[in-house]
Amino acid sequence: MGWLVWALGLGLALGLPGSTWKAAAPPVFPWDALGPTVLAIALLSCLAPWLAWMGGPTLASRRPLALLEAPPDLLWAALLLAIWPSVWGPPGLGGWLVALLAASLPGEVRWLAQAMPAEHPFPLAWGKTAVQRVRLKVLTRLWGRWVAARLPIWLTATLVLERILGVPGLGTDWMTRVAVRDRFGLAIWVLVLAILWALSQTWDQESA
Amino acid sequence: MRRLLLALSLIFISALQPFPLSAQVVEESLSRDPGPLDFIEGDSYEQWILQSLAGDALVGIAPNGRVVSRLASSWKIQKDGKIVFALRSDVRYTDGSSVGAEDVVWTIQALLRHPKASPTKRAILERAEVGIENGRPWIRSPRPPGRLLMELARVPIAQKDHPERGSGPFAFRKDPGAWVFTRRDHFLKPRVDGIRFRLLPDAAGVMTALQKGWLSIGAPATRRQTEVPSTHRLITQPMHAQLVVWSQLGVAPLQLLEHWRKDAFPPQLLALNARPSRGLWPETLGFEAQSIESGMALPKGPRTLRLLYPAGDESVEKLLLALRERARRDGFDLQLAPLEQGLLADRLQNRDFQLACSMVVFDPHPWTVLEYMEPKGPMNFIGWKHPQLAEITTRLQQPGDSAWRELQALWAKGPAALPLLDFQSVIWVDKHLLVEPSPMGLYLHTPGAAGWRWDQ
pLDDT at B20: 42
Tell me the residue length of chain B.
Answer: 456
pLDDT above 50 for B21 = no
DSSP state of B156: B
Asked which of A188-202, B77-91, B353-367 is least confident by mean pLDDT, the reply is: A188-202
pLDDT tens-digit series, residues B179-224: 999 999 999 999 999 999 999 988 888 999 999 999 999 999 887 8
What is the assigned CATH class of domain B238-423?
alpha beta
Q: Shortest CB distance from B177 goes to which of A28, A163, A168?
A: A168
pLDDT tens-digit series, residues A95-104: 999 999 999 9
Tell me which chain B residue has its CA closest to the CA of residue A82. Answer: B208
pLDDT tens-digit series, residues B303-349: 899 999 999 888 899 999 999 999 999 999 999 999 999 999 999 99
Q: How far apart are the CA of B36 and the nearest CA of chain A, in angstroms?
A: 6
Q: Give the span between the Cα atoms of B440 and B425, in whole angstroms.
A: 10
pLDDT at B19: 45
Are the Cβ atoms of A19 and B41 closer than 8 angstroms?
A: no
Are the Cβ atoms of A87 and B18 closer than 8 angstroms?
A: yes
pLDDT above 80 for B301 = no
pLDDT at B206: 92
pLDDT tens-digit series, residues A137-166: 999 888 887 887 787 777 777 888 998 898
pLDDT tens-digit series, residues B26-51: 999 998 888 889 999 988 889 999 99
A23 or B294, which is more confident: B294
Q: Which residues of B fall below an 8 Å CB-CB distance to A?
A: 15-19, 29, 32-33, 35-36, 38, 41-44, 47, 116, 118-120, 174, 176-177, 198-202, 204-205, 208-209, 212-214, 340-343, 345-346, 348-349, 358, 378
Q: Give the span between the Cα atoms of B67 and B72, in whole angstroms.
A: 11
Q: How far apart are the CA of B335 and the nearest CA of chain A, in angstroms?
A: 22
pLDDT tens-digit series, residues A168-183: 888 889 888 998 899 9
- Give the start-to-end residue ranges of the domains of chain B: 37-168, 238-423
Are the Cβ atoms of A163 and B202 closer than 8 angstroms?
A: yes
Work out the percent of chain A whose per-residue pLDDT is above 70. Answer: 97
Q: Give the span between the Cα atoms of A83 and B216, in whole angstroms.
A: 21
pLDDT at B3: 63
pLDDT at A205: 60
The string of DSSP letters for B293-329 reads: --SPPPP-SSEEEEEEEETT-HHHHHHHHHHHHHHHH
Mutation site, A80, A81, A176, interface B, largest B CB count within 10 A: A81
Tell me which chain B residue has its CA closest to the CA of residue A88. Answer: B18
Are the Cβ atoms of A168 and B199 closer than 8 angstroms?
A: yes
pLDDT at B16: 47
pLDDT at B12: 52
pLDDT at A208: 46
Q: What does each C-alpha distance from B279 to A91, B133, B261, B441 come to in angstroms?
A: 46, 45, 11, 22
Are the Cβ atoms of B43 and A25 closer than 8 angstroms?
A: yes
B246 close to B353: Cβ distance less than 8 angstroms: yes
pLDDT at B33: 86
pLDDT tens-digit series, residues B383-392: 999 999 999 9
Are the Cβ atoms of A21 and B358 closer than 8 angstroms?
A: yes
Q: Shortest CB distance from A165 goes to which of B38, B205, B345?
A: B205
| Total Cβ atoms within 10 A of residue A182 | 22
B2 or A4, which is more confident: A4
Q: Under CATH, which number does the domain A30-203 receive?
A: 1.10.3720
Are the Cβ atoms of A27 and B33 closer than 8 angstroms?
A: yes
Are the Cβ atoms of B346 and A166 closer than 8 angstroms?
A: no
- Grouping H, G, I as helix, E, B as strand and the rest as coil, residue A116 is coil
Q: Tell me the average pLDDT of chain B.
A: 91
pLDDT at A160: 87
Are the Cβ atoms of A92 and B201 closer than 8 angstroms?
A: no
pLDDT tens-digit series, residues B236-273: 999 999 999 999 999 999 999 999 999 999 988 888 88
- Give the start-to-end residue ranges of the domains of chain A: 30-203
pLDDT at A196: 82
pLDDT tier, B1 (very low <50, low <70, confident <90, very high otherwise):
low
pLDDT above 50 for B428 = yes
CATH of B37-168, one of 3.40.50.11890, 3.30.930.10, 3.40.190.10, 2.40.30.170: 3.40.190.10
Mutation site, B17, B206, B212, B381, interface A, largest A CB count within 10 A: B212
pLDDT tier, B429 (very low <50, low <70, confident <90, very high otherwise):
very high
pLDDT tier, A124 (very low <50, low <70, confident <90, very high otherwise):
confident
Q: Which residues of B touch A81 (CB under 8 A)?
A: 205, 208, 212
Are the Cβ atoms of B212 and A27 closer than 8 angstroms?
A: no
Q: Give the span between the Cα atoms of B69 and B204, in whole angstroms.
A: 40
Are the Cβ atoms of B342 and A181 closer than 8 angstroms?
A: yes
